[in-house]
Structure 1
Amino acid sequence: MSTDFYLVRHAIKEKDVGDVPISVEGLEQANVTAKYLEYFPISRIFSSPLKRAKQTAQIIGKAAKIPIDEDIRLRERANWGDLPGQTFEEFVAMWNQCTRERDFLPPIGDSARMAGERLSSCLIGLSAQYPNESIVIVTHGGLITDFMLNEFSQDELNNTHTNFITEQSNLIGECSITRISCDGRAFNLYEFANIAHLSC
């Protein structure tokens, strides 16, 4: 028995500090993604508590007529604005250090490895609770990448994109869909960061 997961990165967000909503362009992306996911047998939707993810999830949930469950384990590795007084440049430098040094613990948020483990734990728990279901997870690009680096070999990652590790910060576009399954212990990857539905 296994559970299918559709890992959706939130739609394009407003460019500002803090817990920002999605933009007008993001609203359009989320609606297109919601229509695409109507073709799949989705039974549940879980979302990060951050606004950009919740709004994306609510649009998907409205189209599918499924309520949204928030799960704090789906939050991003770190969010600009969580550390008072941190400039954007300082946030980016912190983020990049976490990306390069996967065990580096920043002054706010999680290390990349810890963040990936957090998502793995969430998905394993959900697969045990909801076997044989199809579940949408609306979360963040950094968290999905951190999870991928924890759970899949470098060869598997490079099959999705050459030089995955080097290019990791640019691979998961807004409203992209990564499809995996989990049998309660191990993960299988079927589709990575698909954005074809956004250009239909």
Structure 2
Amino acid sequence: MNKNIYIIRHCEAEGQSEDALLTVKGLEQAEKLSNFFYNKEVDHIISSPFLRAIQTIQPLANRLNLEVQIDSRLSERLLSSMPLSDWLDKLRATFDNLDLKYSGGESSKEAMDRIVNVVMDSLESEHENTVVVTHGNIMSLLLHHFDKNFGFKQWKELTNPDVYLLNSFDEKINYTRLWDE
């Protein structure tokens, strides 16, 4: 069976905390995102519990009269529980070594496994067209799972929001970037 899973990175937010709200621009982007999906079939929506992810998809959920299923496996990856002044260099290193783990944090492999499991669960569900709303780092790790060339450089090029389509056909998964704004 042919299944589509739309992977969305949240819209522009005021910060990185779990309860960070979308900016005014982010709220406008959420409306644009809803319009973007206007002619697409969507029968299931899953979101990170982070407020910025829920706010990103709520206009579409309202339009389609669908409930947003919250899944903590879509939470952004915690690089470290300690402040890292050189966090960008440390993040880059985790794309080269997926098992690298900093104090109190999660390895790329651990975070990747979480989001891959959400996708696999979606592929095994009765839903044909699922929207998954998440965050940049974990989204890039998902895409890396399907394409080893998707790495730190591609993560840096993601936009807020961003949309990729994972398409499953004959047990092969391909992805395409759909958002171009």
How high is the TM-score relative to the length of structure 2? 0.87
Once residues 3 and 140 of structure 2 are traced to their aligned partners in structure 1, the CA distance between those partners, rounded to angstroms, is 20
* 1:88 to 1:56, Cα distance in 2 relative to 1, 3 A: farther
Q: What are the Cα deviations for residues 130-181 of structure 1, in whole angstroms up to 9, with x where unaligned?
A: 25x1111111111111111122243xxxxxxxxx435123122111110012
Once residues 5 and 18 of structure 2 are traced to their aligned partners in structure 1, the CA distance between those partners, rounded to angstroms, is 28
Matched, 1:136 2:131: yes
| 1:76 alignment counterpart | 76
Following superposition, the deviation at residue 57 of structure 1 comes to 1.8
Following superposition, the deviation at residue 91 of structure 1 comes to 4.7
Is the CA contact 2:22–2:52 (under 8 Å) kept in the aligned structure 1? yes
Is the CA contact 2:3–2:167 (under 8 Å) kept in the aligned structure 1? yes
Give the structure with the larger helix fraction: 1
Residues 1-200 of structure 1: pairs in structure 2 closer than 5 A: 1-15=1-15, 17=17, 19-78=19-78, 83=81, 86-87=82-83, 89=85, 91-92=87-88, 94-131=90-127, 133-154=128-149, 164-182=150-168, 186-189=172-175, 191-192=176-177, 194-196=178-180, 198=181
Q: How many residues align?
A: 181
Q: Any stretches of 5+ residues in structure 2 without a counterpart? A: none
Following superposition, the deviation at residue 88 of structure 1 comes to 6.2
Is the CA contact 1:42–1:136 (under 8 Å) kept in the aligned structure 2? yes
Following superposition, the deviation at residue 18 of structure 1 comes to 5.2
Letter of the aligned partner of 2:160 in structure 1? E
Is the CA contact 2:42–2:130 (under 8 Å) kept in the aligned structure 1? yes
How high is the TM-score relative to the length of structure 1? 0.79
3-state SS in 2 of match to 1:108: coil
Once residues 35 and 20 of structure 2 are traced to their aligned partners in structure 1, the CA distance between those partners, rounded to angstroms, is 24
CA RMSD of aligned residues (A): 2.4
Following superposition, the deviation at residue 66 of structure 1 comes to 1.1
* 1:128 to 1:16, Cα distance in 2 relative to 1, 3 A: closer
Is the CA contact 2:48–2:71 (under 8 Å) kept in the aligned structure 1? yes
